[in-house]
């Protein structure tokens, strides 16, 4: 056999082995080369690239000069750890502010004593600080009521401030009732010259005030621990307890009225009510059948109003006989109001010596230390505590001008951060800029997307690169295929439908398409669910 014949036989044998294999590969369609026509929701979105930041942050400063006395944030090593709104972070030496509050308190007492002594002569005790105790008690009630409102509104820093004031006012009221000088006025003598207690319920009042001071201390701890439901419950209980104790405190104040006195105008208004009641009574008497119960009630009301009007006039006559005219009385009342305003201002200055966390956050830095001196010139510019809300995370991104009309405030978004792959974070659009900026020949519009607060923010940092898919629309329960299956041009789209994958049999079919996202295209007509189509390989 010649070499040429041997070569021909060998080539024929190789072709016999290779050609069937090639033919088989050409006739078979691999699973990766086709996709099923499915039915489901088609989410439309616009992409935005940007970076994360934490916009809710504050450099907390003292509101007045002084010496740094206490830094709980440093004491408990809170740097880098979360704190709850209402937590005390730093405090100045407030000795001077406390003295100012006491001085304002004494000025108010003098204003009250002046009007009481002039109006009432010797009819009331000469020790009038009991009336001041009532005022402080009532101020504490108002402050606790405001604290309850602030807690309900989530304004925990404001609530903590009101609680501090209420605690101070209750302590001041208690100090009046525990003043040793009060024993002189407590001891009186009956007709048989036997000593009796002038204020038998005084011990009860002191016990109530002590219990409420302790409760406020407990509430402060609950706020710092973030146990706001427990703080609310404690405050509600305090409000009820103080309301019950108010009558007892008021009875021991020995001060008629509040801080001003009813005048002739008040008496005239009450007298008019009496005239109205008598007119109604005349109408009843003119009727054939009289409602005796209603008529009797009308008479009793008129009698009650007449007695009240008479008491006011009697009080006014006593005042004027004592040499006090209407102008002088008004001046006394104005002096009391001014003293109360000054007291409130001094209490606000006292609050400036404390820094409390205005929101839940993380103490990033404490820039002052105990015994630091804050002068009149630098206290307002020197940060004490740097607090950041690490749960409020914003992505600042940009949108291309082609897509900006599809984006609006309130739309949901899925955020992906390069540094934490595999985690889809939910958020929503809070801001879309009405102005674009030209960058590299393209106009981009800034947007801000805030992450939902219940998302896991562990590992996230300000400045990290992120991408967001803003959901602009949703097509529910529609037929869809991968974009790589669509061929042709607009108005003339078609797909290759797989007839038999094993033989590579396909059929060209015209389709009508709908909306499209990054992956899939809606099929309006031309295909049935479950059919399979060829898809182009990813290049």
Taking only the tens place, the pLDDT of each residue in 484-522 is 989 988 888 999 998 888 888 888 899 999 888 888 999
DSSP 158-190: HHHHHHHHHHHHHHHHHHHHT-TTHHHHHEEE-
- Output the pLDDT for position 194: 65
For the segment 343-357, the average pLDDT, to the nearest whole number, is 87
User: In this predicted model, what pLDDT tens digit does every residue of 213-262 receive, in sequence order?
Assistant: 898 899 888 888 888 889 888 888 888 888 877 766 665 554 333 334 44
* Phi/psi of residue 253, nearest 5 degrees: -75, -30
Banded pLDDT at 188 (limits 50, 70, 90): low
For the segment 455-470, the average pLDDT, to the nearest whole number, is 88
Phi/psi-derived region of residue 318, left when phi > 0, alpha when psi is between -120 and 50, beta in every other case: alpha
Partnered with residue 397 across adjacent β-strands are 50, 447
- Output the pLDDT for position 196: 61
C-alpha span between 152 and 229 (Å, rounded): 9
| Region of poorest pLDDT, from 76-80, 85-89, 365-369, 513-517 | 76-80
As a whole-number percent, the residues of the chain with pLDDT over 70 amount to: 76
> Which H helix or E strand runs over 516?
strand 512-516
User: In this predicted model, what pLDDT tens digit does every residue of 382-410 receive, in sequence order?
Assistant: 888 889 988 889 999 999 988 899 999 99
C-alpha span between 312 and 52 (Å, rounded): 69
For residue 65, pLDDT over 50 is answered with yes
As a whole-number percent, the residues of the chain with pLDDT over 90 amount to: 14
Residue 328 to residues 115, 271, 319, 519: CA-CA distances in angstroms? 9, 25, 11, 86
Q: Which of 54, 50, 44, 53 has the alpha carbon at shortest distance from 407? A: 44
* Phi/psi of residue 50, nearest 5 degrees: -175, -155
For the segment 204-218, the average pLDDT, to the nearest whole number, is 85
For residue 185, pLDDT over 60 is answered with no
| Region of poorest pLDDT, from 72-81, 177-186, 522-531 | 177-186
User: In this predicted model, what pLDDT tens digit does every residue of 442-461 receive, in sequence order?
Assistant: 899 999 999 998 888 888 88
Q: What is the mean pLDDT of the chain?
A: 79
Q: Where are the alpha helices (DSSP H) in 424-513?
A: none
Look-up of token digits 């108005």: 491
Decide: helix, strand or coil at residue 344: helix
- Output the pLDDT for position 417: 92
* Phi/psi of residue 121, nearest 5 degrees: 60, -125
User: In this predicted model, what pLDDT tens digit does every residue of 37-58 receive, in sequence order?
Assistant: 999 988 888 899 999 999 888 8
C-alpha span between 66 and 50 (Å, rounded): 44
- Output the pLDDT for position 297: 66
User: In this predicted model, what pLDDT tens digit does every residue of 252-283 receive, in sequence order?
Assistant: 554 333 334 445 666 676 777 778 878 888 88
98, two tokens: 């406390």
Long-range residue pairs from 194-198, CB within 8 A, at least 24 positions apart, any chain = none
Instruction: State whether CATH 2.40.50.100 applies to domain 57-87+358-388.
Output: yes
* Phi/psi of residue 59, nearest 5 degrees: -95, 105
Second CATH level (architecture) for the domain 31-52+392-534: Beta Barrel (2.40)
User: In this predicted model, what pLDDT tens digit does every residue of 295-346 receive, in sequence order?
Assistant: 776 776 677 677 767 766 776 666 666 666 667 767 777 887 888 888 888 8
C-alpha span between 530 and 497 (Å, rounded): 11
For residue 426, pLDDT over 80 is answered with yes
189, two tokens: 């003598």
Q: What is the largest CA-CA distance in the chain?
A: 158
- Output the pLDDT for position 264: 62
Partnered with residue 505 across adjacent β-strands are 500
90, two tokens: 């730093």
Instruction: State whether CATH 2.60.40.10 applies to domain 95-262+330-351.
Output: no
For residue 529, pLDDT over 80 is answered with yes
Rounded to 10 degrees, the C-alpha dihedral 335/336/342/343 comes to 160
User: In this predicted model, what pLDDT tens digit does every residue of 15-27 receive, in sequence order?
Assistant: 455 445 444 445 7
Instruction: State which of 170-179, 292-301, 347-356 shows the largest mean pLDDT.
Output: 347-356
For residue 155, pLDDT over 80 is answered with yes
Domain boundaries defined on the chain: 31-52+392-534, 57-87+358-388, 95-262+330-351, 264-321
C-alpha span between 71 and 66 (Å, rounded): 14
* Phi/psi of residue 439, nearest 5 degrees: -135, 120
Q: Which of 496, 426, 473 has the alpha carbon at shortest distance from 454? A: 426
Q: Which of 310, 329, 264, 260 has the alpha carbon at shortest distance from 118? A: 329
Residues 6+ apart with CB under 8 A from 354: 88, 90, 91, 92, 94, 161, 164
């Amino acid at each position: 056999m010649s070499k040429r014949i041997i070569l021909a036989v060998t080539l024929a044998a190789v072709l016999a082995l290779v050609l069937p294999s090639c033919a088989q590969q050409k006739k078979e369609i691999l699973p990766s080369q086709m996709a099923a026509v499915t039915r489901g929701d088609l989410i439309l979105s616009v992409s935005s690239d940007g970076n994360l930041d934490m916009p809710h942050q504050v450099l907390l400063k003292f509101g007045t000069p002084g010496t740094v006395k206490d830094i709980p944030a440093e004491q408990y090593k809170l740097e880098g750890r979360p704190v709850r709104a209402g937590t005390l972070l730093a405090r100045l030496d407030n000795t001077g502010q406390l003295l100012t509050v006491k001085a304002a308190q004494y000025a108010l007492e003098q204003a009250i004593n002046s009007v009481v002594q002039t109006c009432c002569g010797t009819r009331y005790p000469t020790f009038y600080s009991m009336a001041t105790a009532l005022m402080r008690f009532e101020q504490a009630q108002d402050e606790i009521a405001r604290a309850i409102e602030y807690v309900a509104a989530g304004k925990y820093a404001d609530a903590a401030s009101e609680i501090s004031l209420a605690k101070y006012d209750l302590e001041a009221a208690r100090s009046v009732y525990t003043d040793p000088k009060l024993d002189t006025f407590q001891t009186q003598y009956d007709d048989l010259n036997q000593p009796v207690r002038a204020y038998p319920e005084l011990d009860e009042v002191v016990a109530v005030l002590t219990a409420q001071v302790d409760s406020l201390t407990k509430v402060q701890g609950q706020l710092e621990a973030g146990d706001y439901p427990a703080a609310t419950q404690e405050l509600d209980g305090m409000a009820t307890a103080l309301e019950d104790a108010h009558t007892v405190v008021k009875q021991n104040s020995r001060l008629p009225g509040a801080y001003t006195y009813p005048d002739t105008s008040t008496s005239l208004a009450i007298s008019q009510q009496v005239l109205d009641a008598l007119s109604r009574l005349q109408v009843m008497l003119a009727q054939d059948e009289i409602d005796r119960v209603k008529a009797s009630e009308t008479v009793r009301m008129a009698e009650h109003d007449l007695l009240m009007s008479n008491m006011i006039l009697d009080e006014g006559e006593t005042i004027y006989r004592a040499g006090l005219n209407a102008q002088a009385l008004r001046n006394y009342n104005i002096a009391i109001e001014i003293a109360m305003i000054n007291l409130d201002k001094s209490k606000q200055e006292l609050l400036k010596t404390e820094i409390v966390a205005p929101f839940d956050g993380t103490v990033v830095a404490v820039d002052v230390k105990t015994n630091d001196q804050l002068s009149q010139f630098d206290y307002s510019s020197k940060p004490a505590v740097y607090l950041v809300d690490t749960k409020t995370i914003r992505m600042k991104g940009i949108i291309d001008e082609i897509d900006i009309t599809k984006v609006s405030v309130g739309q949901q978004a899925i955020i992906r951060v390069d540094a934490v792959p595999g985690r889809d974070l939910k958020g929503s659009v809070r801001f879309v800029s009405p102005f674009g900026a030209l960058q590299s020949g393209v106009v981009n519009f800034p947007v801000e997307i805030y992450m939902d607060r219940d998302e896991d923010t562990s590992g996230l940092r300000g400045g990290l690169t992120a991408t967001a898919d803003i959901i602009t629309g949703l097509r529910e329960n529609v037929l869809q295929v991968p974009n790589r299956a669509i061929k042709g041009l607009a108005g003339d789209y078609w797909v290759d439908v797989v007839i038999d994958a094993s033989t590579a049999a396909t059929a060209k079919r015209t389709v009508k398409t709908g909306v499209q996202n990054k992956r899939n295209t809606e099929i309006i007509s031309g295909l049935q669910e479950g059919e399979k189509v060829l898809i182009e390989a990813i290049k």
